[in-house]
Amino acid sequence: MSHLYRSAVHARIAKLPDLPQTEGDEEDEAADSLGSLPPSMGPPLLQKFLNRQGRGRRSGQPNPIFAPISAAGFFDQALQISVPESGLEFRVYYTPSKSDNGTVIVCHHGAGWSGLTYAAFAKEVARVGKGECGVLSFDCRAHGKTTTLELRTEPEDLSIDILTHDLVNLIVTVFPDVEKSPTLLLVGHSLGGSAIVRACPLLQAKKYKITGVTVIDVVEEFTLEALPMMHSLLDSRPDGFQSQEDAVEWHIRTHVIRNVDSARISVPSIIMKNVGTSEPPYIWRTPLRITAPYWDSWFTGLSGMFLAARTARLLVLAGTERLDKELMIGQMQGKFQLTVIPNVGHMVQEDDPTYLAEVLIEFWQRNERVVVGVKKVGEL
């Protein structure tokens, strides 16, 4: 729930199988006619950018400075993977590790977002990690370009158990041979954090090697206390946008995302053309109000499950967010690594993908390539 969640909180205090590339509806991933991004994807000087942008722009015209950027240069593959166990065809973005014994960072996005929220981060992981770590990101159920295998009339079940098993089923499909599977580093933002900590023991029971879990910017106690304010905050969101550029600009100007380049990649994937009426031309792919019945279940028990994970644990927070009591005790006991990234909002992976990539690579190196006699993060 991205910016809405943070606003509410502050108000209160291996290789893929040989699968074909998808064809047809692929403008977003296939052609990169707008050019490549700068070598570093760190946060730009946002206010200076906004002050100078739009000069000479004709009134009512989409602002080209916010034009979409193709994801083609950020992942090696964009695939549709059929997973009958979940009844879904997942949209998956994947860059494999270049090392035979490498690790794949499996990324789960938050509510309302898509796998492309990790696009800039994936590019930085490849650069910082020199290709030794791959990245797999996907659109979860009822999000992005993930679709059902059969036509359904009833609303999607977005309960946390369903989302967790979707993740497990996808991993089993992508890496069916456990012996040949790369080690996995599970990363989840907001809702995605809840899914990955629950998926961890299920994957370990199937003998997958999990080198660590990373939860990005969600703390159980404060999230649950903020949920009653979510509906009023949703009232402030527009129903749609006049263009993709307008959608990107809204996310930047309202500080939902603070990195213009990343927003130009991710935001077009969370809106779609409005085929029912001419106004507004673009609407949300996943209206957050439809997820309201699941909000409590998503986050209840998150802190305890995170601390109970039988692997290295990393909690990444934005700014100076507080820990709840359970996490505070766990931190004092050395049960997890805590990293606070400055000058970012809730969309940490978009606002400063370079910093986050450096943190994750260091975490991976410490726990995957542990020296004899040196304890992993969380080991007592």
pLDDT at 21 over 90: no
Q: Which of 114, 346, 351, 352 is catalytic?
A: 346
Torsion angle in degrees (nearest 10) through CA of 27, 92, 317, 47: 0
**Burial track 173-200 (b if 16+ CB lie within 10 A, e otherwise):** bbbeeeeebbbbbbbbbbbbbbbbbbbb
Confidence of residue 43 (pLDDT cuts 50, 70, 90): low
Helices (H) and strands (E) in the chain, counts: 15, 12
Has residue 38 been placed in a domain?
Answer: no
Structural domain span for residue 239: 2-15+63-368
CA–CA separation, 275 and 270 (whole Å):
16
Nearest to 359 by CA among 345, 375, 377, 339: 339
Of 217, 261, 351, 352, the catalytic one is 217
Residue whose token pair is 């593959």? 77
One-letter identity of residue 293: P
Tens of pLDDT along 174-215? Answer: 999 999 999 999 999 999 999 999 999 999 999 999 999 999
Domain annotation covers residue 359: yes
pLDDT digits over 237-266, tens only?
999 999 999 999 999 999 999 999 999 999
CATH number for the domain spanning 268: value is: 3.40.50.1820
Q: Using 50, 70 and 90 to split pLDDT, how confident is the model at 102? A: confident
Is there a catalytic annotation at residue 76?
A: no
| pLDDT at residue 70 tops 80 | yes
Q: Which two tokens stand for residue 228?
A: 């009653």
Do the domain assignments include residue 93? yes
The helix (H) or strand (E) run that includes residue 83 is strand 77-83
Does residue 173 fall inside a structural domain? yes
Q: Has 190 been annotated as catalytic? A: yes
Residue 184 lies in a domain: yes
Q: 226: how many CB neighbours lie within 10 A of its CB?
A: 24
- The pLDDT of residue 58: 54
Higher pLDDT, 373 or 80: 80
**Structural contact between residues 95 and 357, judged by C-beta atoms closer than 8 angstroms:** no
Confirm whether 157 is domain-assigned: yes
What is the mean predicted confidence (pLDDT) over 333-361? 97
Q: 7, 70, 137, 190: which one is catalytic?
A: 190
How many structural domains are present in the chain?
1
Paired sense of beta strands 210-216 and 271-273, if any: unpaired
